[in-house]
Homo-oligomer: A and B are copies of this chain.
Amino acid sequence: MSYLFSSHYRAILFRRLWISLAKGEKKLGLPITESQIRAMQNCLEEIDFHKITEYEKELHHDVMAHIHAFGDLCPLAKPIIHLGATSTFVTDNADLIQLKEALTRILKKLHRVILLMTKLVKKHKAHPCVGFTHFQNAQPTTIGKRICLWLQDFLIDAKEWERLISSIPFLGAKGATGTQSSFLLLFNNNSHKIKKLEEFIAKEFGFTHILPISGQTYTRKLDVMILNALSSFAASSHKMATDIRLLAHEGEIMEGFGKSQVGSSAMPYKRNPIYSERICGISRFLMSLPQNTLQTLSTQWLERSLDDSSNKRITIPEAFLAADSILEILTNLLSRLVILPKVSLEHLKKQMPFLVMENILMKSTQKGESRQELHEALRQISQKIKGEKDPLKSLLSQVTSDPRFHLSPKEAKELLSIKSLIGRAPEQAEEFLKTFVKST
């Protein structure tokens, strides 16, 4: 990922774009020779950054510096390098190529994460655990179903990234203010040839769409869309990692721990969920970045202003590096995650007297009593039994002796089955994998 956004890779892209431009122009009749093209191809990888920097110091213009340095390497092609083009022909098309490649790479890693989660769902889909709302004990669910909450968010991200990858357009050859006037001149007012030229180059770089309208640059709205998608993924990751940190507190989940890993320099017994914490910290950074792309689009003036460039050069690579790094940690974390269904089950059993209440409420309401009245009765019972020694026994005796509940002791007992408490959680998890994950 770092290489993808490196100066080296970018310089290569510039040259590949110039070569492609020349090939296209030649094909469409401009006086460019095969040997000029070969001359460029032969020195494609000879990049002398020292020389480029020298030129840039003199010219204060980075693309011109690249043109000069390239021209020095292949004097034969010098007169036709960049022919008809403006700087953004190389900078912005290269940007779009990089964005597409970067998205493709992280999507692959996201699929790996999804696969790891899928396995965890399968394994734990029927393992019951206490559900939590307000981080207070709530109706039981299963561990696998809970993982589906996270998984579903990541599936939405994956779908969104796929959509973006297939919709990123190529800028093409648009000229200084997007009017293609220089190309019209080159091709003697033959519009058709300009389109052919754009299609030729786009195809060489694997693009199927070309942006129909542009100023000097592609609309910075594309950057907005991409950073929005990355930051949405960051939020998914932060949510999952936070949940894992909470469950690590419960002792129901632990991060895989190296044999000689040290938890704290002061407290030798510690096993801290440091990878989940790291994900949170990086995700937070990634979530702050879309403010940049939004503001850059907002304040672009007319056919282009250059206040985009210094911002893009920081925020776009940083966003992808952050996403990539989160994905690496997620993969590592999920491959080694220690899930302890026994601990979850113990916790659930301890909370049984409270968790069973909704079942009682449901059952008794079905027998015709007012839901509100029973809700109130149970609320009062729950306050009473909280401190008691055997709250479950106490609950059952109160409920079965109160005629409003219409519950025989036997019926009451049946409501205690864990299977009935976790509802459709296992089934939901299974169906979800079948219907939604397969298709990804």
Residues of B within 8 A of A34 (CB): none
Q: Assess whether A131 is interfacial by the CB under 8 Å rule.
A: yes
Contact residue among B79, B146, B182, B420 (Cβ-Cβ distance under 8 Å from A362)? B182
Q: Is the CB of B185 within 8 A of A362?
A: yes
Contact residue among B176, B269, B315, B422 (Cβ-Cβ distance under 8 Å from A382)? B269
Q: Assess whether A388 is interfacial by the CB under 8 Å rule.
A: no
Among A268, A369, A381, residue most surrounded by chain B Cβ atoms (within 10 Å): A268
Do A282 and B270 form a contact, CB below 8 Å, given A232-B225, A299-B242, A375-B262? no
How many angstroms from the CA of A213 to the CA of B346 in the assembled complex? 25
Q: Assess whether A78 is interfacial by the CB under 8 Å rule.
A: yes
Contact with B along A246-277 (1 / 0, CB 8 A): 11110000000010111111111111111001
Residue on B nearest A303 in the bound complex, by CB:
B131
Residues of B within 8 A of A285 (CB): 292, 310-311, 314-315
A373: min CB distance to chain B, Å: 9
Q: Is the CB of B179 within 8 A of A145?
A: yes
Question: Which one, A1-9, A81-89, A93-101, A110-118, is touching chain B?
Answer: A81-89
Q: Assess whether A307 is interfacial by the CB under 8 Å rule.
A: yes
Q: Is the CB of B422 within 8 A of A179?
A: yes
Q: Assess whether A396 is interfacial by the CB under 8 Å rule.
A: no
Residues of B within 8 A of A185 (CB): 359, 362-363, 420
Contact residue among B134, B180, B300 (Cβ-Cβ distance under 8 Å from A423)? B180
How many angstroms from the CA of A291 to the CA of B86 in the assembled complex? 35
Q: Is the CB of B134 within 8 A of A305?
A: yes
Q: Is the CB of B358 within 8 A of A302?
A: no
Q: Interface size for chain A: under 10, 10 to 19, 20 to 34, or 35 or more residues?
A: 35 or more
Q: Is the CB of B428 within 8 A of A213?
A: yes
Q: Assess whether A24 is interfacial by the CB under 8 Å rule.
A: no
Among A278, A290, A358, residue most surrounded by chain B Cβ atoms (within 10 Å): A358
Q: Is the CB of B87 within 8 A of A423?
A: no
Q: Is the CB of B298 within 8 A of A67?
A: no
Residues of B within 8 A of A302 (CB): 131-133, 135, 146, 243, 246-247
Among A295, A302, A370, residue most surrounded by chain B Cβ atoms (within 10 Å): A302
Among A152, A269, A311, residue most surrounded by chain B Cβ atoms (within 10 Å): A269
Q: Is the CB of A288 within 8 A of B278?
A: no
How many angstroms from the CA of A265 to the CA of B354 in the assembled complex? 14
Within 8 A of B (CB), among A127-141: 131-136, 138-141
Contact with B along A351-378 (1 / 0, CB 8 A): 0001001110111011011111001101
Q: Is the CB of A278 within 8 A of B309?
A: yes
Q: Is the CB of A424 within 8 A of B135?
A: no
Contact with B along A18-40 (1 / 0, CB 8 A): 00000000000011000000000
For the complex of A and B, the 5 pairs showing the least CB-CB separation, nearest first, are: A181-B423, A269-B382, A281-B310, A131-B177, A179-B423
| 13 residue pairs A–B, Cβ–Cβ below 8 Å | A59-B262, A67-B265, A133-B272, A134-B273, A134-B277, A156-B219, A175-B266, A179-B425, A212-B431, A243-B302, A268-B378, A269-B354, A282-B314
